Structures are given as structure tokens and as C-alpha cells.
Amino acid sequence: MSRISKTFNGLQAEGRKGFIPFVTAGDPDLATSLAIVLKLAELGADVIELGVPFSDPMADGPTIQRSSERALKGGVTLAKVLDLAAEIRKKSDVPLVLFSYFNPIFRFGVDEFEKSASAAGIDGVLLTDVIENEAGAISRRFGEHGIDLISLVAPTTTDERLEAICENARGFIYAVSRAGVTGAQETTSLTAEQLVNRTRQFTDLPIAVGFGISTPAQISDVWKYADAAVVGSAIVSVIEKSDQEDVVLRVEEFVSALVPNRSVSVAK
């Protein structure tokens, strides 16, 4: 059983819902990313998404686009992201999911990526730009290396496509709260709950809701109908606006206010 499955099984047994933060790996630099991720794990993150910097992040809004640009300017590559994951894994068992477009993996070499990601302790990969036939083949290949393919569904996804996507998914389903790109919003979409309910017709996997979640009230709302809430742009924005010497503290303050009383030990 994967770390992701164990985590969600544990949450269900305890009657709790999950918190999944996203950060762009290498923003503002790799050493600081390591400190931020370990702090997020300490604050009780159930799964952590590591964004792989990419030059054409079409599913992302301005905040995450800028974070990718900063990381790329700093020389961050997929290989360095995997090295970062390996460093995280030395100090924490928190499940790690790479959030990536397919191009960086294709350039890296799919065979080599599968081996390297598994060796680095990556538990799942979320690919934003693969279609059903590709997803099926990739899911099987990743599964041979103990890596879950995390699948995206959106309010515009038809029931027919929902069924096909869920057949290939592993770990959990990522339900996009609204059509469009990433970015913090003041309210969560009313269609998100409908999407979660539709998706549950086709899978028993946990369902996490993301895109636009940035406040405790929004997280509480999502937790009423989904298994986890994903917070990305709001955390990346805190990183962007903070001085490097106090960025970890600023992230800690922000996340502690989002999901209080979840702190855990990350020592291995």
C-alpha cells in the first residue's frame, strides 16, 4: 500500500479530512524549498505537492507562473527537483506528489524518470496535460514503480470521461473547483461539490479539491463534501512576498492560521 493510500486510510479511520499544500520546487531556491516543505510536514500536511518548474504552465495562473519563472532562472531542473525530494525523504515520510506537465518528463526520459522518481521517494505524479489513452499507459508504467498517477477532473468533464479517468487513477482524484487556471479566489465554486458527487459514482478513491482555495472558511467548506483540500497559489503568494530570511516563518504563520492544531513530528 502506498504512502498516499495509508495516509487517506488513516484520515478516514480518525474521521478527519486532509490538507494538501502545493509549493513550486526551487522557489525561491532549493535549500529554502527544503525548509518550507519540512515545515509544512511539521504543520500537519497530509500530502505535499511539489510543482516542477515549466516554461509554459498553461494550467497555472500568474502567481504560480511567476514562481516557475523564478525557479527556472535559478537553474532548477526536474533532476534537481528529484534531488530535493530525496533530501525531503531523508527527514520526513510525508507523501510527495510531483505536479508537472509531461514535457519535462519526456525530455528527462520516461524510463529514467520512473526509476529516479521511485528512488527519490516520490509517491505520486499529477500530470496536467495527458489524455485518457496516454494516462492509462502512464498509470500502468508508474504503478510498476510504486508511483500513483493522480488524475485531474473538472466541472466541464463529462460523465463518460469521468468514468474513463477514474479507471486509470491511483492514490486520489484531484477535482478542480472551477474552470480556468490556478489562483486564489474569495469563494469556492458551487460546482465543486457537484463535481465531487458526480466523481464518487465512478471511484472509491479519496477526492481532493483544489484551485482557488485560500482561507480557513473555504477549507472548512471543502471538507464538508471532499476528502481533502489543496492550497497552492495562496502559499506561493506568501513565498513571493516574503524576504528570503523570513519566508519559512511567514509560511508557517499563514498555514497555521489556515489549518490550526494539526502539527506533527517529522523526525525519522
What's the pLDDT at 264?
62
d(CA 21, CA 238): 13
Of 27, 42, 46, 60, the active-site residue reads 60
Q: What are phi and psi of 81, to 5 degrees?
A: -65, -40
What's the pLDDT at 230?
96
What's the pLDDT at 178?
57
d(CA 45, CA 53): 21
What's the pLDDT at 211?
87
What's the pLDDT at 215?
93
Q: Has 60 been annotated as catalytic? A: yes
Q: Has 114 been annotated as catalytic? A: no
Q: What is the pLDDT along the chain (268 residues), one digit of tens a residue?
A: 899 999 999 999 999 999 999 999 999 999 999 999 999 999 999 999 999 999 887 767 789 999 999 999 999 999 999 999 999 999 999 999 999 999 999 999 999 999 999 999 999 999 988 876 788 889 999 999 999 999 999 999 999 999 999 988 999 999 998 544 444 444 455 789 999 999 999 999 999 999 889 999 999 999 999 999 999 999 999 999 999 899 999 999 999 999 988 876 444 4
Q: What are phi and psi of 69, to 5 degrees?
A: -60, -45
Of 42, 49, 123, 252, the active-site residue reads 49
Query: Quick one: DSSP state of residue 171?
Result: S
Q: pTM value?
A: 0.93
Query: Quick one: DSSP state of residue 169?
Result: -
Domains and CATH numbers, the chain: 3-258 (3.20.20.70)
- Helices 233-241 & 62-73, crossing angle to 10 degrees? 50
What's the pLDDT at 135?
84
Give the Å distances, CA to CA, from 178 to 74, 193, 195, 198: 32, 10, 9, 14
Give the Å distances, CA to CA, from 31 to 42, 71, 157: 17, 12, 38
Q: Which residues of 160-192 are buried (b: 16+ CB within 10 A; e: fewer)?
A: eebebbbebbbbbbbbbbbeebbbbbeebbebb
What's the pLDDT at 244?
87
What's the pLDDT at 189?
58
